[in-house]
Amino acid sequence: MAKKTITIGGKGSSLTSSSVYSIANGLSQVNIDSSILEKLSSSKSSLSKKTLTVSNPRFLTNIEARASLVVLLNKLIITQHGIRSALPILITDALNGGPFALESLDFGSVLGFLDTLCKVNGKRFDDVGVTDGEIIVLEESCYALDGICALLDCCSSSLSTVADAVASLSCEASSADVSALVNSLDSGDGFSVKDEVAVASDFKVLLTGSKLVGKNGSKAVSEIPEVHGSFRESVKQVHSTTRVKLNSSVRIGKDGSLSNVRGGKQLVKTVSSLAASLVHLGESSLCRAQLVARCQEVDIHSEVLEMSGTLKNGINLSSEVNYISLFHEINRLVATVRKILAWEGALAILSLDSMESKENAQEVQVVSSNVETKKGNTNADKKSQKKKKVVLGKGTAVIKQLLKGRLNGEGGDTIENLAVLNEWVRDLCLFFEPKDQELDTFLKKVKEMVESNESRRLPKLPKGTRDFAKEQMAIRGKAFKIIEEVFKRHGAMALDTPAFELRETLMGKYGEDSKLVYDLADQGGELCSLRYDLTVPFARYVAMNGITSFKRYQIAKVYRRDNPSKGRYREFYQCDFDIAGQYETMGPDFEVVKVLTELLDELNIGDYEIKLNHRKLLDGMLEICGVPPEKFRTICSSIDKLDKQSFETIKKEMVEEKGLTAEVADKIGTLVKKRGPPLELLSELKKDSQFLENNGSSLALKDLEILFEALEKSKCIHRVVFDSSLARGLDYYTGVIFEAVFKGTTQAFPQVGSIAAGGRYDNLIGMFGTKQVPAVGASLGIERVFNIMEQQLENDANQSIRATETEVLVSIFGEDLGQAAELASELWGAKIKTEYLVNKRVAKHMDRAKESRIPLMVIVGDQERRANQVRIKDMQANTEELVDRDSVVEEVRRRLNLMSL
């Protein structure tokens, strides 16, 4: 069969590990893209005048040497600067020439390599020469490491699927209890390891329908998700790193300097992780092989000792070890694990064949017994036969058949010597190598089996997100309508901003909560993050457009990389109301708090309170207690947790983690425990001289006096509680801060907690490099409000909400779609909310109207059609009336107007 050709270079081309493996194993020839070759041939790079020396000769195996040459060829082609065509052509000739034994290449030095490469091609180094650019690529590109790593990548990738397939057979061959294995699925608590879950899910598919599993407990089986999952993760890391390394150039400046030389340390770290997971994979496979061997009474003691010894020796990861030697040893480790998997597979097939052989013998015995006794106790025999029947899983049955097709000789029900078994192991060892073209077919079959079951698996939502059904969406629509009306009543204008911002826009604005910002992958050279809230994007918009006065509202989703819990989501809506600009003292602050009370009152969710404090008062307290100014923000973050944790816990955090003394922490505890009616607590604080003598707290008390008077005049101060422990950990707050708390409970969320919050942020807009524009705003966390509203509907039997606002159902008894289209279009044209149904069964129409609680039905049957009339049915009054066809719209509108009165 003719070898395929792999072209290196050219527009959009990239080198893959599978291509390196194919060329290294002589399965493919290599070719340089003609346009690249022409460009290199026209290079006028002069030969180097450097003196090269030979030192520390190093020789690789034939396959490793060829893989290194492929990578070097690609490095030279993508680097181009200072590269001629001579060296790439020499490498191509060496790879494509035959015989292709290249163990004589010396990879220990530049001169050693070039000299031996020339000799392989029948040339002299002095005739070929080398440029400075070529020397840099040879010295700095780590092409030998990258080449061997490409082999590791290709081999380990296929080994991952092979290990799963073989282990699934062992589970059946040893009658293992796989309940712990297949139940290692996602717990939904955010702590599951993705690859472990994937392994468990795949095994569940492969073993579906098996009658052989579920008896014998074994650690070698229960640990499969952890061991195989860890190996999968290591394989993916190696693949990702190798892909980058294979296609990274050595950038040489015009002055010959290097601009991005990458050493092999990152690659070594990644491959070392692979080595560790390979050892664990091999040990786990060896344990299962021994388990199956004991079941079949097959003695593999000497083979186990040999393979176990190789695994126990492991890999020497000391700093003195040469990187190439390390990679070479890991390559050998891959071969050892491949052999162990071959033993496990061969023994598993032997065991399963033995079971089937015994079953066949029992069937013959039952048939003979029936012939002798004629009918006898045939039914009982058949029941016994059915119980003992060997039934493999749907996936393992196919795997066994595919592997058995590669084996020479028959195992039968026992093997007196190891000759046949050893032959099976050799067959599987060869089959499990990527250069076996049938392995690719096998891997695809296993992958198809696993993925074909995806349709049967229930899809999942990402943690911290929710779907909303039609009834829930109706509640949301109602709530959003109320909220928007309140915002518009106060003169706010709508604004929308992108779901993601430049990362630099969001960073440095949220204090310790910055760790919760969702970063996105780099696209087009911009580092972006999903918006954490709507306030910072609003500030960015105001600054970017030079706005000095703006009252705005926005209802949109925000995102937080938080640990999801009841009532706490990663994606959720916020409803923001903000006022930016210069106004009378505390005017905007009053209006924002007033808007918040109107929202919560009109949403009718039940009892709530608005905790309120002033950031300057809090900073004054901290200053009075002796907290250094640079620690104000971090201590505020601790104080803000007092509604959820005891002061002793907070004190421990402030002392042990944030460096305060116990005395200072106790002083803070005394001051932040003050809580009560706004005017009463304000009066108490104004009598304390230490607050009046502190500039920040004195100014805060004056602000609060103006604010509380305005709230009292507007008759909403009864909703406000002055709470000196309220801190609001976000860095950008500078003045009044507040938080609305639901005081009731719901069945789903016994403690709902905060449902809205906000405050003054006078310096945030100026952080974007423009002049300072003072601002204050509030944000309603609508998700928790929705939870409360949904619970109220569930508890109130008299309340219900319609998923649609449909007013009329056009019911055509029969199959005349045209009649439905005509009638419905007339009603739609009159702006009447209408649906239609075409069906012969009257019950279908009635059920549809009742389920959707549609008030009116316009019915057209054969009788109505002949009389050019329609029947209008009032579903609530359960009355009907015939009207002329031409009067339908007028009559429907009249009835709907009456219903709305």
Cα–Cα dist 575/815, whole Å: 47
Cα–Cα dist 505/507, whole Å: 6
CB of 754 closer than 8 Å to CB of 728: no
| The token pair that represents 846 in the structure block | 């009635």
Predicted pLDDT of residue 823: 95
Question: What's the mean pLDDT in 101-122?
Answer: 90
| Sequential DSSP letters for 721-741 | EEETT-----TT--SEEEEEE
HSE toward the beta carbon, residue 68, CA cutoff 13 A: 27
Q: Please state the three-class secondary structure of 236-247 as a single string.
A: HHHHHHHHHHHC
Cα–Cα dist 220/699, whole Å: 70
| The token pair that represents 552 in the structure block | 């705005």
Cα–Cα dist 600/718, whole Å: 14
The pLDDT tens digits for 276-304 are 899 999 999 999 988 888 877 776 766 66
- Assign 602 a pLDDT band (cuts: 50, 70, 90): very high
| The token pair that represents 526 in the structure block | 């911009």
CA angle 572, 577, 581 (to 5 degrees): 140
The pLDDT tens digits for 748-789 are 555 567 889 999 999 999 988 888 999 999 999 888 888 788
Question: What's the mean pLDDT in 231-258?
Answer: 76
The pLDDT tens digits for 177-204 are 888 777 665 444 343 467 888 888 888 8
DSSP H helices in 490-522? 503-506
**Lowest-pLDDT choice from 371-385, 766-780, 850-864:** 371-385
Phi/psi of residue 834, nearest 5 degrees = -135, 145
pLDDT of 505 strictly over 60? yes
Predicted pLDDT of residue 384: 47
- Assign 257 a pLDDT band (cuts: 50, 70, 90): very low
Question: For the chain, what's the residue count?
Answer: 901
Q: Is 5 helix (H, G, I), strand (E, B) or coil?
A: strand
Q: Which of 112, 138, 143 is nearest to 125 (CA)?
A: 112
Cα–Cα dist 406/404, whole Å: 5
Q: Is 156 helix (H, G, I), strand (E, B) or coil?
A: helix
pLDDT of 859 strictly over 70? yes
- Assign 312 a pLDDT band (cuts: 50, 70, 90): low
Q: Is 61 helix (H, G, I), strand (E, B) or coil?
A: coil
DSSP H helices in 8-142? 17-24, 34-41, 62-79, 86-96, 110-120, 125-128, 132-140
Cα–Cα dist 59/56, whole Å: 10
For strand 608-614 and strand 736-742, is the pairing parallel, antiparallel, or unpaired?
Answer: antiparallel
Cα–Cα dist 551/578, whole Å: 6
**Max mean pLDDT range (200-204, 634-638, 863-867):** 863-867
pLDDT of 566 strictly over 70? no
| Sequential DSSP letters for 765-816 | GGGGTS----EEEEEEEHHHHHHHHHHHHHH-TT----S----EEEEEESS-
Cα–Cα dist 550/824, whole Å: 45
For strand 571-580 and strand 550-559, is the pairing parallel, antiparallel, or unpaired?
Answer: antiparallel
Predicted pLDDT of residue 213: 81
- Assign 885 a pLDDT band (cuts: 50, 70, 90): very high
More confident residue, 496 or 463: 496
Phi/psi of residue 556, nearest 5 degrees = -160, 170
CB of 551 closer than 8 Å to CB of 578: yes
**Lowest-pLDDT choice from 167-176, 414-423, 579-588, 811-820:** 414-423
How far from each other are the two terminal CA atoms of the chain, in whole angstroms? 87
Cα–Cα dist 723/704, whole Å: 12
CB of 22 closer than 8 Å to CB of 110: no
Average pLDDT, the chain: 84
With 0.85 as the threshold, say if the pTM is over it: no
Question: What's the mean pLDDT in 507-522?
Answer: 80
**Max mean pLDDT range (97-111, 520-534, 591-605):** 591-605
* Percent of the chain topping pLDDT 70: 86
| The token pair that represents 346 in the structure block | 């061969």
pLDDT of 386 strictly over 60? no
pLDDT of 428 strictly over 80? yes
Look up tokens 């916020």; give the residue.
574
The pLDDT tens digits for 576-587 are 999 999 999 999
Q: Is 102 helix (H, G, I), strand (E, B) or coil?
A: coil
Q: What DSSP state is assigned to residue 114?
A: H
For strand 500-502 and strand 4-8, is the pairing parallel, antiparallel, or unpaired?
Answer: unpaired
368 bridge partner residues: none
